[in-house]
Structure 1
Amino acid sequence: MTIAQGHSVSELTIEQAGPVTRLMLDRPARGNALSAGLVLALSAAVAQAAQDGTRLLVLEGLGASFCSGFDLGGLDAQSDGDLALRFLQLETLLQAVHHFPGETLALAHGRVFGAGADLFGACARRIAAPQTTFRFPGVRFGVVLGTRRLGAVVGRERARRLILDGVEVDADAARASGLADEIAPPSAWPDRRAAILAGLDLVAPETRAAITRALRPDTRAADMADLAASVARPGLKQRIQNYKREIGNRS
């Protein structure tokens, strides 16, 4: 009998049951926004799962939303350099998820914005609850993050429109574009996890990994270079503050 083991580390709840590792973002009061600590905790957990025999890595969010994006709190205490480092660490996390040696599954609900949508799109399998909404607003403060990955998922022109238009799309539109593989309510997620896990037994892990490598171009160096160039532009903090002020005025 497999016994689930769960614990929390730095705003992240981790549950492991046999070959399945669930990483549950645990900052519900902040919409599971990606703080510096949460990104580092996720990176460490993904690295551990890549070494411990995990075959299915599941990303979820506790509370009302999967992930509302890059945490914009506490900007006054951060410099351009601090913020640039956070984005570089975030890209490192997204690359680790995208190139995870096993299968990855994102289960999204609520608002999935910015870096949260990038985290969702970095997973190989992506299920959205019926009322989920997605948006990629990072371009508004000049950050180039996850562009090639999104283009590989939804197509280059559709990705360009999603990023540059910054529009919010619902679960049906996400499903139609390929951003979400399917729409299912949270009550159905345990069965979907079990079905995906059962399907993994049909192909040897090394064969699955080889097929994934062949079909998933390794653009990590170029992705990091694009991001680094965008966050190195002077005034990163001011651009983010301007964006935060803008959305605050609209709310």
Structure 2
Amino acid sequence: MISTGWDGTVGLIALDRHERRNALDLEHCRGLAAAVAEQVEQGARALVLTGEGSTFCAGADLDGVYGDEFRDALYTALRSVLDAPVPVLAAINGPAVGAGAQLSLAADLRVAGPEAYFAVPTARNGLAVDPWTVRRLSLLAGGGPARALLLAGERLAATTAHERGLVDRIGSHADAVSWAREIAELAPLSLRYAKLALNSLDTEVPDADLERAYDACWASEDAAEASRARAERRAPRFHGR
């Protein structure tokens, strides 16, 4: 199942499939996409995604991985995280393997426990990840680690991933939620534009969308609120307008 909850304006989503180490099947891919959409619709200002137990996500459930229907559902789920108009933090509490590694890459920020690691063992099972995954992994972790993961089937430990830039912070789920609470206080339109602009480095984002998001920041009530808050020596209260 996909578990959801709230911490203030932070939406909490967890893969909860202990018997399969949170491996993704068709049902859970669809459930994840639905959970992201639902929490955004309900006003989440940030999302934290994790796995229950000691594994973030062991990858795709190999019993169904070879079907086109599963593959479409997986990439729809990844795209839901990538395209969410709010920051998504992955709290990587354990191994992130294959589709689990892809899910962590789709998030905007990654907080990993010291016992976590990343692996993309496609060469061990005759499969492949899409070009976006290769670009994203290379952009975040660097060309060397990306090649070691994809060509040599190696694991990348959380501490090494942190040194390389793939992991933003070493910490727990609670640390990820705390960070998300801080982010949720920032200007939503500014965050949305920044996410679009950053995603445009490895994902096709129409120039018109970037321009609209950029202009919306400068014309927003939140920009005026920030100016008032500076004059009044108080913290701004942003509403995404």
TM-score (norm 2): 0.76
Q: Does 1:176 align with 2:163?
A: yes
Deviation (angstroms), 1:220: 5.5
Q: Provide the rounded CA distance (Å) in 2 between the counterparts of 1:220 and 1:214.
A: 10
SS at match of 2:91: strand
Deviation per residue, 1:80-121 (Å, 9 max, x gap):
5xx122112111211221221111111112221110011112
8 A Cα contact 1:150 1:159, kept in partner: yes
Which residue identity is paired with 1:18? G
What is the aligned-residue RMSD (CA, Å)?
Answer: 2.1
Q: How does 1:98-109 map to 2 (within 5 A)?
A: 98-109=82-93
SS at match of 1:59: strand
Q: 1:37 to 1:126 in 2, by over 3 A?
A: same
Match of 1:63 in 2: 53
Q: How does 1:217-236 map to 2 (within 5 A)?
A: 217=200, 219=203
Q: How does 1:20-39 map to 2 (within 5 A)?
A: 20-39=10-29
Q: 1:27 to 1:128 in 2, by over 3 A?
A: same
Match of 1:212 in 2: 195
Deviation (angstroms), 1:191: 4.3
Q: Provide the rounded CA distance (Å) in 2 between the counterparts of 1:196 and 1:21.
A: 9
Q: How does 1:116-135 map to 2 (within 5 A)?
A: 116-135=100-119
- Pairs aligned (count): 201
Q: Does 1:158 align with 2:145?
A: yes
Q: Provide the rounded CA distance (Å) in 2 between the counterparts of 1:191 and 1:158.
A: 26
- Percent same amino acid among aligned pairs? 34
SS at match of 1:71: coil
8 A Cα contact 1:60 1:108, kept in partner: yes
Q: Provide the rounded CA distance (Å) in 2 between the counterparts of 1:13 and 1:71.
A: 19
Structure 2 unaligned segments of length 5 or more: list them. Answer: 206-241
Match of 1:142 in 2: 127
Deviation (angstroms), 1:190: 2.1
* 1:72 aligned to which of 62, 68, 77: 62
8 A Cα contact 1:98 1:124, kept in partner: yes
8 A Cα contact 1:95 1:220, kept in partner: no
8 A Cα contact 2:91 2:176, kept in partner: no
Deviation (angstroms), 1:157: 4.5
Deviation per residue, 1:6-55 (Å, 9 max, x gap):
xxxxx111112431111111101110000111110001111222322111
Which residue identity is paired with 1:204? A
Deviation (angstroms), 1:135: 0.6
TM-score (norm 1): 0.73
SS at match of 1:24: strand
